[in-house]
Amino acid sequence: MITVDFTRFPVGSGNRVLDLGCGNGRHAFEVYRRGADVVAFDHNEDDLAELATMFAAMRAEGEAPSGSSAETVSGDALDMPFEDGSFDRVIAAEIFEHLPHDTAGMAELYRVLRPGGIAAVTVPSWLPERLCWALSEDYHTVEGGHVRIYTRVELEAKLKATGFEIGPHHHAHALHTPYWWIKCAVGPDNDEHPAAKAYHRMLVWDILNGPTVTRGAERLLNPLLGKSIAVYVRKPLHPTAGNRT
């Protein structure tokens, strides 16, 4: 399930791309398929081991263009082991809502992105997330869970204060929002509830088949019900004295 719109966030041969907080690698795999050099970064070493295995399988099957590369790196998003300006692109998908010190994480993202580079930042959208919190305390109080709900205005203001130039935005995954409302209503860990199971089957069918009717419905619903919002930002070519470095 890809949140980033690669028409707004072009990547390809010659780009070094950081997938910050890569999780299960959904964006890292896509970046690799597009021929870029991707670094999948996360604190969870078990997830990274699985990603390394998948990267190797992709290489063996010829799923990644010749000359592209993929690696995994473990570490802290607030203190990354990379030099300043190391990356042409950075993806930070659904990470800042987990960080108690989100502005410190944004400053670190700014540091490792080269001047002129682009970042894609995604977080849960305000309305779907607000209802999830209202329906279930367990949804957001688990260890490592979400610690804040962003409005787009707040997210963009924090990114701008970090030094980024704010670009376009969009919402995504409207069809997934009702699934999470159902999950929160019946219990986030209750995967066997009939309503949750039935809706999950529909989502899997939609992801595998991509039928026109559901793709069209999601595009229409995304502005209001999109589960995620993506904001695209650029590090200025010539940071001013007020920008972070």
- 16-126+136-174+225-234 adopts what CATH topology? Rossmann fold (3.40.50)
DSSP-assigned letter for residue 76: B
- pLDDT at residue 142, as a whole number: 83
- pLDDT at residue 245, as a whole number: 47
Q: What is the mean pLDDT of each run of 10 residues along the chain (245 residues)?
A: 95 97 96 98 96 96 94 97 98 96 97 98 97 93 89 98 98 97 94 95 93 94 96 90 52
Task: Measure the CA–CA gap between 41 and 19, rounded to whole angstroms.
Answer: 6
What is the signed CA dihedral for 48, 53, 59, 64, rounded to 10 degrees? -40
- pLDDT at residue 14, as a whole number: 95
Domain ranges of the chain: 16-126+136-174+225-234
Task: Measure the CA–CA gap between 27 and 91, rounded to whole angstroms.
Answer: 8
- Global pTM value: 0.93
Using the Cα atoms of residue 11, residue 232, residue 100 and residue 152 in order, give the sign of their dihedral. negative
- pLDDT at residue 244, as a whole number: 54
- pLDDT at residue 243, as a whole number: 56
Give me 37's structure tokens.
């050099």
Using the Cα atoms of residue 63, residue 44, residue 119 and residue 239 in order, give the sign of their dihedral. negative
- pLDDT at residue 62, as a whole number: 94
- pLDDT at residue 241, as a whole number: 53
Residue with tokens 């992105």: 113
